[in-house]
Amino acid sequence: MKTIGMIASVLVAGLLVVNTAVATEKNGAKKAVAYKVDAAKSVVKWHAKKVTGEHFGTIGLATGALNVDGTKISGGSFEIDMTSIKCTDLTDAGYNAKLVGHLKSEDFFSVEKNPKATFVITKVDGKGANVNITGDLTIKGIKNSVTFPATVTADAKGVTANAKIVLDRAKWDIRYGSKTFFPNIGDKMINDDFEIDLALTAAK
């Protein structure tokens, strides 16, 4: 009888430990909450330079989500609609359409074959609103890790994130007018670096 009593006591103790562990897990740190990016309220601008001038434009987000742990971003991913590339500085409709068509062509972003680009956050460093975000950016099927500073604010209502990102297009094999691939190109050169100005709005 004593043996049976001891076994019962051990089983009860074991159940208590398991239940305590489960309760601790449930009542412990809050899990990250996914906030859906509002594509209509978010803005992605691009800025590219060449020897003889520069161009500005926008590009749309297809989908996106930011994972928020308390008031801090812990992850997220986005799909960028490459078919939505627009130029905003050229007022001549014909010239504008020609430039946008060229950007969508095989010379640049090969949009017909690659209609979406993606970005997946892999790491967030920093405290407060100012952080450094690292993630995998895939353009034309080529993935590269990029890191950039961002300003992020999060509360119960939603998330806003702003960042200026400088990208080297040569890393994604975008060769047209690139001095990296054509060192003797002269004044036909288009800068390899181009800028993305990002303003995101997300809500639960």
* Residue 78: CATH number of its domain: 2.40.128.110
Quick one: tokens of 86? Answer: 């627009």
pLDDT at 138: 98
What is this structure's pTM? 0.83
115, 85 Cβ separation under 8 angstroms: no
E-state strands within 28-141: 33-37, 43-50, 53-69, 72-87, 116-125, 130-139
pLDDT at 70: 81
- Whether residues 25 and 113 share a domain: the answer is no
Residue by residue, pLDDT tens for the chain (204 residues) are 444 443 334 333 333 333 433 333 344 456 788 999 999 999 999 999 999 999 999 999 999 999 998 888 999 999 999 999 999 999 999 999 999 999 999 999 999 999 999 999 999 999 889 999 999 999 999 999 999 999 999 888 899 999 999 999 999 999 999 999 999 999 999 999 999 999 999 998
- Whether residues 78 and 98 share a domain: the answer is yes
Structural domain of 84: 31-203
- Whether residues 17 and 36 share a domain: the answer is no
- CA-based nearest residue to 186, from 19, 13, 77, 52: 52
- Whether residues 176 and 189 share a domain: the answer is yes
- CA-based nearest residue to 55, from 200, 195, 199: 195
- Whether residues 182 and 84 share a domain: the answer is yes
165, 151 Cβ separation under 8 angstroms: no
- Whether residues 6 and 47 share a domain: the answer is no
pLDDT at 30: 60
- Whether residues 19 and 106 share a domain: the answer is no
Number of domains in the chain: 2
- Whether residues 60 and 77 share a domain: the answer is yes
Q: How far is CA 44 from CA 25, 92, 180, in A?
A: 39, 22, 26
- Whether residues 80 and 35 share a domain: the answer is yes
pLDDT tens per residue, range 68-118: 988 889 999 999 999 999 999 999 999 999 999 999 999 999 999 999 999
- Whether residues 1 and 81 share a domain: the answer is no
Angle at 123 between CA 65 and CA 161, to 5 degrees: 45
